[in-house]
Structure formats: structure tokens, C-alpha cells
Amino acid sequence: MLDGPRRFTRLQVAAMAGMPPERTQRLWRALGFPDVADDDPVFTDADVEALRLLSELIDSGFVDPSTEASIARAMGQSLSRLADWQTDMLADVLTRGDEETGGPRPISPEEAVATASMLLPLLRRVQDYVWRRHLAANAERVLAAAGPGDRRELAVGFADLVGYTSRSRGMGGRELGAMVEDFESTATEVIARHHGRVVKTVGDGVLYTAASAVDAVEIGLELPDAWRAEDRPPLRVGAAYGPVLTRLGDVYSPVVNLASRLTSIARPGSLLVDRVLARQLRGLPAYRVRPLRRVSVRGYDNLQPWLVRRRPSTEEDNSFEGMLDEMADDVLDRSDDEEPHTPG
């Protein structure tokens, strides 16, 4: 797995790569690996080559020395999760139940090494393909965006499982793992179908972005329906729109905080949006947008949530709904001085 035997100490690797030991240790920690003793030979030729490549990237100007630890940290966190999944998958292959006994079958170290040697190169090739496709997709988004590459106007949405903590306490590990896998699978599929991007997932929620208001709202309306089942906790969604800083795969902005606050006050199965998204949906026949009572939440003393629902395809316009549309338009027209996007 390490492309060679472990034969170098930390200080030897630093000297061979021409880097100060303090710097190599900082990068090692940023990648998420624990400290090793100075006299412990745990490093390989691949570790030396990796540090040399990093030096080349810095010398080329592609990586700024001040951000190298941040880049290492983001890469380490992403690949650590990928490695956890791949290790579990490999362990499952190696210990798959014996058809005769029904239990895990015994496996020799030689068989484990042979299996890993066959599967890992295949995983690496698939990994490289997926990385390149994501790189191309992100490059297209950057080139299409106006302004600096790390700042753009985006819709940000949170989808949150209601009552996840209390429900998960009564679940076994396998059952909880299956629910989390189903949730992430459903969220990823719906978000991708509507041209969004999954920024990150946690056990009980997902953070996503979308370039257009309609895509963000379609995700927010479809996700609770796609996830709904008797044995699952309900889902609620909040979304907001505005300037966002994208950095190392994550997003930063008061808009993110606002989307989170809207999610926290949404009813199960519903979608709440901010004034900016509500205004962009104004006049679109596919949706009904209604103002709810203003609330005070952390960071916002007078937050105006907007409930978005689909307009039934068989519904005919009537005077009552027309009156509600006019009232919503009136609230939007009077809300130019509404709460600022202040961080909570």
C-alpha cells in the first residue's frame, strides 16, 4: 500500500526532501496522521517523493506557502473518509461469510495481500477518473461565474433530519449505518439531478449549493418527498441566496448561517427560504411563496421566513389565492430594509 518498505525516520525524510523538520511535521499533522517518534522508521520512498512534489508545486506558484497546511488538512479529511469506506469494503470482501458455516471465513495474510494487490489499483483508477470529472465540472463553474473564482452568487441549502438524535439512540450500529447511507444516497441523487453540488454531509444533514434559485428550490422541495417513508425521520430544508466564498471545497458566508437558521425553524417536510430567493421565485407559476410570521433566532432579531410549496398542476386560479399572491408581493415590496445577512 505504501509503495515500498518503511525505512526512514521523520528527520531523514525531512533532510532528503530538503525541508525543515518542523514544516514536515506540521504537514503530517495537517494530513490527519498522529506523531511518530524521531527514531521510528515508518516512512518510505513515496513519502520523500511526495514532499519533493509539494516543493515543486510551491516553487511553481500553484500552492502558496501560507496555505499549504490548509490544503493538506482539506485533502486529508476528504481522503481519510474515502479510505475508511474502502477499508470497510475490502474487509467485507475478505471476510465474506462462508456458505457452509454461515460465519466469517478464515483468511490467510497471503490471501489478504493478494486480494488487496488486485483491488487497490482498480480503486485508484476509478478514483482518478472521478477526481478528474469533478475537477472539470468545477472548472466549468468557475469559468462561468462572474467575478473572482472564489467568490460568487449562489444559493445555499441545508437539509436536516428531524429528531435524528433521539431516533438514533435506539438503533443498532448496522441499522444506523444503513439509514445514513440511504440518506446520503438520496440526497446526492436529488442534488445532482438538479445541477447542485453537495458541499458536505454529516450524520443528520447535508449542505448543498446551486447556481440558480429554481434549482435550489427544486432540490428543497423534492428531497423531503424522495426521503419520506414510515420508518424514517422526516426531513426539513432551508435555503438562502447571496455572495459566497468557496475555499478548499467548503463555503463561507452569512448566507450559510441564514440557511441554517431557516432550516432550524422549518416544519418537518417543508422548505423555507430567505427574501432574496422568495423574490427570485416571484411570478413563477410553478410555486406558491408565502410569508410566515417573523421570528427571532440566533443572529437575526427579526427574520422573515418564506414558505415555498409547489402549485398543484390541477389547481385553477381563484380569487383567494390571487389575494394571497398580492399580499406576498406587497410584503416583498416592503421588505427591502429587512434583516441583513448578519453572522450568527
Q: What is the pLDDT of residues 16-68, one digit of tens each?
A: 988 888 888 888 888 888 888 888 999 999 999 988 888 888 778 887 777 78
Neighbouring C-alpha atoms within 13 Å toward the C-beta of 264: 14
Cell of 235: 426531513
To the nearest whole percent, how much of the chain has pLDDT over 70?
86
Return the pLDDT at 213.
93
Return the pLDDT at 319.
60
Q: In this predicted model, what pLDDT tens digit does every residue of 128-160 receive, in sequence order? A: 898 888 888 777 766 665 555 567 899 999 999
Return the pLDDT at 344.
42
Return the pLDDT at 133.
87
pTM: 0.66
CA–CA distances in Å: residue 337 to residues 63, 160, 242, 261, 333: 42, 29, 16, 19, 10
Of the ranges 185-199, 308-322, 326-340, which one carries the lowest mean pLDDT score?
326-340
Query: Which residues lie across from 308 on neighbouring strands?
Result: 271, 289
Residue 257's pLDDT band (boundaries 50, 70, 90)? very high
Return the pLDDT at 341.
46
